[in-house]
């Protein structure tokens, strides 16, 4: 039976006995996809990524295990983390990764939702391309529909009131963010921690929150319920000498970036010691310098030293003798946070120490954990009470890392409400309402963009469909029921009852989403889809 072999893709060769055989190989150049075919392949790649994380959406969403090349594992359902750590090779799929990152950097929450919406829009694009509609006309229709949806979000949003005495609405928003996280079993406690941490550092007049003043730290051991909010700073250090006191009350802290060691020339040097007298002379010089440094610290009124650098046993012994507790090897970011929290100044030279440059704290104490020798230093009752630390406990490192990500998302949701205190309702309620509004506008348009606008409305339904599916409900039946109720009652607060509480009214269930988060999702997803629709070829370039 003869086989048809392309002579351009085959090599004829002989073995050592002269018998001929054929080596078939692929063509030297693969044909590149271009035009509509290229757009279809881009849509397929983006849909694949979207479908991977769709199952992580909502309070019943599932987690993913991510395995690094080193074998380290991460368990999370945070969209930005999943996409950031996935090994994504396709160029268009990488754009979806950047989409979730931009949502994370700008808003901090809603990273899964934005990718699910982008994937749904691209799925609709495929159907429109099958009908022969040009990609540019689809992009124009999507942009028009997005403007309608964003305007409708403004119309259906509610303004929530809050104050330092009444934070219940902020807490409800934080609980909505935490509902889909690993900490959901104690999400009320975590919501309280997130709200109190943000309000401790917030400037309500300027509507600004400085996350630099919030440190999130963790230690393996204990349960998630042992997580606490410390009005001060927690650092993973202990006193430099085991016989130093474990607690310092009314602390006056010298914050130093200079080392406890004798001064040396800046240039390279070495000293030749040829006799015992010269050695004794050097030893006496070093001791004199150590004593001078310690006296300068004590003269400033300090009763605790925090140093960025280490010091040797002799300096440590002299500090103990002079009853001056010290902490060494405190990193740069931590030392800055301590300076901010205690209203102290970071001092680069011992000669510059003075009483007004000292940081002040009510108490500095060591925390010990379990039966181990693990210790951490807690600086509380600081002069500047705005700096806070969230100290997370958990059974293993993965749980602690995921709890940190969860708290970050909750704090971002609270910060967004401080920036703009308008909310829309979750559970897919806002998406269903916007879908109905876009479809209504599309009915009044006579141009070809009406098809793209209806497709945009269908894509918005992807969020409530995914929420229903992840909650074990019948997706299409649930969506049809809620949509019909919204049409009949005109109530834009009706969504998917993911937790089976018996009510579809998301206001009664206290499921809040900050308006700026939802609006940003729509805008970013539409921008990305427009960009993908306009890419008709991928060309690999080589550096000359």
| Cβ contact 101:29 at 8 Å | no
Tell whether 31 is covered by a domain. Answer: no
| Cβ contact 404:357 at 8 Å | no
Q: Give Rg (Cα) of the chain.
A: 31
Helix (H) or strand (E) holding 517: helix 515-533
Indicate the residue among 329, 360, 384 that finishes a domain.
384
Tell whether 137 is covered by a domain. Answer: yes
Domain match, 378 and 440 both: no
- Is the pLDDT at 262 greater than 80? The verdict is no
Domain match, 378 and 467 both: no
Least confident of 3-7, 12-16, 194-198: 3-7
C-alpha to C-alpha distance for 25 and 28, rounded to whole angstroms? 9
Report the pLDDT value the prediction gives residue 386, as an integer from 0 to 100: 80
Tell whether 470 is covered by a domain. Answer: yes
C-alpha to C-alpha distance for 93 and 488, rounded to whole angstroms? 40
Tell whether 72 is covered by a domain. Answer: yes
- Is the pLDDT at 163 greater than 80? The verdict is no
Where residue 69 sits, what CATH number does that domain have?
A: 1.10.560.10
DSSP string across 193-220: HHHHHHHHHEETTTTEE-GGGEEEEEEE
Tell whether 356 is covered by a domain. Answer: yes
Q: Please count the other Cβ atoms lying within 10 Å of the Cβ belonging to residue 476.
A: 12
Of 147, 100, 140, the C-alpha closest to 119 is 100
> Could you identify the residue written with the tokens 């889909």?
180
Report the pLDDT value the prediction gives residue 254, as an integer from 0 to 100: 92
Tell whether 138 is covered by a domain. Answer: yes
Q: Would you call 488 helix, strand, or coil by DSSP?
A: helix
Tell whether 478 is covered by a domain. Answer: yes
pLDDT bin (cut points 50, 70, 90) of residue 12 is: low
Report the pLDDT value the prediction gives residue 435, as an integer from 0 to 100: 93
Least confident of 383-387, 432-436, 450-454, 473-477: 383-387
C-alpha to C-alpha distance for 70 and 73, rounded to whole angstroms? 9
CA 319 to chain CA mean position, Å: 41
Least confident of 273-287, 390-404, 476-490: 273-287
Q: Where do runs of H (alpha helix) occur along 420-503?
A: 429-443, 449-460, 462-470, 475-489
Q: In terms of residue numbers, what domain contains 511?
A: 38-159+425-533
C-alpha to C-alpha distance for 462 and 213, rounded to whole angstroms? 38
Report the pLDDT value the prediction gives residue 20, as an integer from 0 to 100: 67
Q: What mean pLDDT is predicted for residues 139-168?
A: 89
Report the pLDDT value the prediction gives residue 469, as an integer from 0 to 100: 92
Where residue 314 sits, what CATH number does that domain have?
A: 3.50.7.10
Indicate the residue among 384, 417, 434 that finishes a domain.
384
Of 114, 56, 97, 50, the C-alpha closest to 402 is 56
Q: Which residues are catalytic?
A: 78, 111-112, 409
C-alpha to C-alpha distance for 521 and 146, rounded to whole angstroms? 10
Domain match, 434 and 507 both: yes
């Amino acid at each position: 039976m003869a086989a048809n072999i392309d002579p351009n893709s085959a090599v004829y060769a002989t073995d050592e006995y002269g018998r001929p055989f054929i080596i078939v190989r692929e063509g030297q150049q693969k044909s590149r996809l271009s035009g509509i075919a290229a757009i279809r392949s881009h849509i397929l790649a983006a849909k694949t990524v979207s479908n991977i994380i769709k199952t992580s959406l909502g309070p019943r969403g599932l987690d993913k295990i991510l395995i690094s090349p080193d074998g380290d594992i991460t368990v999370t359902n945070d969209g930005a983390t999943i996409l950031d750590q996935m090994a994504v090779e396709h160029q268009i799929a990488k754009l979806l990764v950047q989409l979730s990152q931009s949502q994370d950097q700008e808003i901090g929450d809603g990273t899964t939702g934005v990718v699910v919406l982008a994937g749904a829009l691209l799925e609709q694009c495929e159907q429109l391309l099958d009908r022969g509609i040009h990609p540019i006309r689809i992009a124009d229709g999507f942009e028009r529909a997005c403007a309608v949806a964003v305007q409708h979000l403004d119309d259906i949003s509610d303004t929530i009131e809050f104050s330092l005495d009444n934070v219940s609405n902020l807490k409800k928003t934080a609980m909505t963010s935490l509902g889909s996280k690993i900490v959901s079993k104690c999400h009320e406690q975590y919501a309280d921690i997130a709200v109190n941490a943000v309000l401790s550092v917030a400037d309500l007049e300027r509507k600004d929150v400085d996350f630099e003043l919030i440190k999130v730290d963790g230690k393996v051991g204990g349960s998630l319920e042992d997580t606490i909010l410390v009005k001060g700073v927690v650092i993973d250090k202990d006193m430099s000498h085991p016989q130093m006191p474990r607690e310092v009350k009314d602390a006056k802290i010298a914050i130093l970036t200079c080392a406890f060691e004798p001064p040396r020339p800046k240039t390279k040097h070495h000293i030749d010691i040829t006799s015992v007298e010269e050695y004794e002379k050097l030893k006496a010089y070093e001791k004199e310098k150590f004593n001078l440094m310690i006296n300068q610290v004590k003269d400033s009124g300090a009763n605790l030293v925090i140093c960025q650098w280490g010091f040797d046993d002799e300096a440590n012994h002299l500090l103990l003798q002079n009853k001056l507790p010290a902490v060494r090897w405190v990193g740069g970011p931590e030392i800055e946070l301590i300076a901010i929290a205690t209203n102290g100044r970071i001092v680069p030279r011992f000669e510059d120490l003075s009483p007004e440059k000292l940081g002040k704290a009510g108490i500095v104490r060591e925390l010990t954990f379990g039966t181990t020798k693990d210790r951490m230093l807690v600086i509380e009752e600081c002069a500047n009470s705005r700096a806070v630390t969230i100290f997370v406990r958990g059974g293993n490192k993965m749980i602690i890392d995921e709890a940190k990500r969860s708290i970050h998302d909750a704090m971002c949701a609270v910060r967004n409400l401080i920036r703009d205190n308008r909310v829309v309702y979750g559970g897919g309620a806002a998406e269903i309402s916007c879908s109905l509004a876009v479809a209504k506008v599309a009915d009044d348009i006579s141009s070809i963009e009406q098809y793209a606008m209806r497709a945009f409305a269908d894509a918005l339904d992807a969020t409530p469909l995914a929420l229903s599916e992840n909650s074990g409900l019948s997706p299409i039946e649930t969506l049809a029921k809620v949509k019909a109720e919204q049409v009949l009652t005109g109530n834009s607060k009706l969504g998917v009852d993911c937790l089976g509480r018996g009510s579809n009214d998301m206001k009664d269930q206290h499921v809040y989403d900050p308006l700026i988060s939802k609006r940003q999702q729509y805008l970013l997803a539409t921008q990305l889809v427009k960009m993908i629709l306009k890419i008709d070829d991928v060309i690999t370039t080589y550096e000359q």
